Structure 1
């Protein structure tokens, strides 16, 4: 590595660590427009309709298209289009959904990792792409999207163990075969139930949440809930598990699932400082174990708190969303010499933190955009769909 590159990287760390060059938080719409523009660039660079997995800061290049997150970016673009009238976003969402159909495996599953990483299907990625197909069907009424969602959902049901746990087809990218955060994959089955009425899908979603509750401790903390180290999960996977429990509980009328999600949400609200900087990992006592923030998890928790506000009416949750977004907004560059960074959200703050260091993963920006739209909807009394 050249001396100039070494100095560049050290300068980026120093700026983040000292809080230099942070963005002055502005209206949600300004930050949202920049985030959507970044997602559009991340799609344009691939040339195949998918969205680049991440911008790699050190090597200054885009990674290949990522099926998993392209799938759940689709609802984000439709959501933004509904708010703004941006028809380009609708067209882009359709291209993403079509690309996902093109690469869907014969058995119905979706590839692990980015394109080229693996030729094997995995549970989590399949679940996340289902969200895109379901939303595309709802928006376009094109049976191809419903058929793809049904094929993927059927595969997920077929490989689920009787107790509701998925023990096969874990991601080779994580090294963990059992993941409580697959409640988010189970939520995708509930979404397929919404467009088909097939009880098998909802029953499977509920069974997975029932299994997940066997991993819950009295304080709400969940075992087997991390990509790497389940003794101190990322806020990213904490939020994944919470969202699945919350949404399936709300949809299926299971108050025990909603209560489990609320315990997690309350623990995270209690840990959130006034400045909105939330550490990126927590142990079983809900104590932070690191000094960096997982920006993806921050945004996901903002969304989850927004949903809790909608379900419970408790303004603490709405206010927590605004507080954590106030911090994340500061980390979003609205202008920079390096165009690939403008509007995007890093994996960690500081940039060398332990969650996707030196990267701008596309899902961080996706969840940020969703959190901004959630916050605006809740403050305006508008619908978030």
Structure 2
């Protein structure tokens, strides 16, 4: 019955509370990620906590991969080495389970199908690259190069990835793989191997070559839906990829495309700071629930655009999205399975990660808050 109680509270607004200071929200989120790691029999991070079944799902290699840099960043920001040690254990685990060909498996560790997939491999690059830069451990460099080489070799001549799609999604040709290409940027920055950056640019060019005049990217969702809608989650993935690849390669046109898409998303931000969960190709919205992960991801994109372009026009959208997500993070419950976590959807019965608290919602929430802190500190110093 807990899930029904949560839904009722979400619907009547009693789960929304006044945000506290960013440090408090960050600490609670970081602690929950360690709870999610301890909830598994290995050193990966549990995919999610399901309040309907009151159970943790198995470790998820894909998102554990990008939880790693978040915990390293938090550990450095707050001089808290226990979070860096947790991230290091996650990275060792990722190397231990890396597939023979260099790729990373699709799905969770409980999945019956064990197959390498492009997107998941791209996401673990973030962890190996960060851990290598933090520790200089050769095993992380080796895993990073093996996975990056596999990704580059799997790319088609035009820059698309058509092979090794996830067996757990219905969309097989993905614009949001620019996020995987962004992983190659991080690999290039950690190793200096230039073909990784070149491959990232090639994928970004392919994605933009298929865009509508209004900036919309086709094939940009986990599912193939009748109205060609896309989640803010995957829209934000694609934006971040274009933005970071453009910044790393000096391609102002890619940054501009990311800016165009980000402005369209911002136009439909709700009064409470949340974003409607789905957009359709004319950039109008088709839902009244919000994808909590997408809110944080778009906050990151808007703040990175401030950093990269120097134009602060989108900052207030980021702050409002962050405050909404802060307002629905439960800091008081005695249930450690959910305290400090962010849900997949609000209300919790929305169409993304329904009744679940996925680890990546909390990861992106932390990234968005730390980036906001960084911008405020830089502004004060300036």
Range of TM-score over shorter length? over 0.9
Q: Separation in 1 of the partners of 2:43 and 2:180?
A: 23
Match of 2:355 among 353, 358, 378: 358
Report which stretch shifted further, 343-352 or 254-263. 254-263
The C-alpha deviation readout for 1:73-130, integer Å capped at 9, x for no partner, is 0000000011101110111111000000000001000000000212100000000001
Residue aligning to 2:191: 196
| Structure 1 range deviating more: 185-194 or 292-301 | 185-194
- Name the stretch that deviates more: 313-322 or 324-333: 313-322
Q: Of 202, 208, 215, which residue of structure 2 is paired with 1:213? A: 208
Q: Which runs of 5+ in 2 are unaligned?
A: none
Equivalent of residue 178 in structure 2, options 173, 180, 183 = 183
SS at match of 2:267: helix
The residue aligned with 1:272 is 269
Cα shift at 1:269: 1.6
Q: Of the candidates 9, 12, 17, which is equivalent to residue 3 of structure 2?
A: 9
How far has the Cα of 1:382 moved from its partner?
Answer: 7.5
Aligned to 1:242: 239
5+ residue gaps in structure 1? none
What CA deviation, in whole Å up to 9, does each residue of 1:243-279 have, x standing for no partner?
Answer: 0000000000111110110011111121113320211
Find the aligned partners of 1:382 and 1:200 in 2 and give their Cα distance.
Answer: 36
Structure 1 segments of 4+ aligned residues over 6 angstroms from their partners: none
- What is the TM-score of this pair, normalised by structure 1? 0.96
User: Is the Cα contact below 8 Å between 1:136 and 1:145 reproduced in 2?
Assistant: yes
CA distance in 1, matches of 2:196, 2:240: 18
- 1:38-117 equivalences under 5 Å are 38-117=32-111
User: How large is the RMSD of aligned CA atoms in angstroms?
Assistant: 1.2
Name the structure 1 match of 2:133.
Answer: 138
CA distance 1:140–1:281, shift in 2 (3 Å): same
- 2:170/2:224 contact within 8 Å kept: no
Q: Which residue of 2 aligns with 1:334?
A: 331
Q: How many residues align?
A: 377
> CA contact under 8 A between 1:325 and 1:372: conserved in structure 2?
yes
Alpha-carbon offset, residue 11 of structure 1: 2.6
2: CA distance between counterparts of 1:360 and 1:125? Answer: 19
- The separation in 2 between residues aligned to 1:152 and 1:346, in whole angstroms, is 30
Residue 291 of structure 1 and its aligned partner are, at CA, apart by: 0.6
